[in-house]
Amino acid sequence: MSVVETGSEAETVAAGARLGSELVAGAIVLLAGELGAGKTAFVRGLASGLGADPDEVSSPTFTILQQYRGRLVLHHADLYRLTPPEVADLGLDEISADGVLAIEWPERLPFAFGDAVRVAIESTGESSRRITITPG
């Protein structure tokens, strides 16, 4: 487990980029945190670390799943508006084989990804965050 303290959105993105640069195909990243905690900013960093354009990353709250192409495909899911039975129909357990799957609001999952990297983002101030990364 590692803990990173960030003082700005740019530093949160940079923390995501460091993790993204280390990920391999099949990796799953579960992102937990309150609304506005910085989950999507962290995913922008993941995209950058995977060689995708971080400026293309936006919250998939209404589209549910987005993809970004880099050295690996980043599949970005936001489960905020879904119930566990609706999530079960998405087939998320089959998506990550060709790339990396990042899931916001993993508490909505009706099943566990036992080997997933867990990222908990906690707001500690207006723009500061405590990011706890637990390897799978």
Mean pLDDT rounded to a whole number for the chain: 93
pTM for the model: 0.93
Distance CA 9, CA 23 (A): 21
Bridge partner residues of 129 (DSSP): 6, 123
Taking residues 13-26, report their average pLDDT. Answer: 97
Distance CA 74, CA 94 (A): 14
The distance of Cα 94 from the centroid of its chain, to the nearest Å, equals: 17
CA 77 → CA 5, 87, 96, 102, 105, distances in Å? 25, 10, 11, 6, 9
The residue extents of the domains of the chain are 24-111+119-126
Read off the pLDDT of residues 47-95 as tens digits, 9 standing for 90 and up. Answer: 999 999 999 998 766 778 999 999 999 999 999 999 999 998 888 888 8
CATH 3.30.1370.60 fits 24-111+119-126, yes or no: no
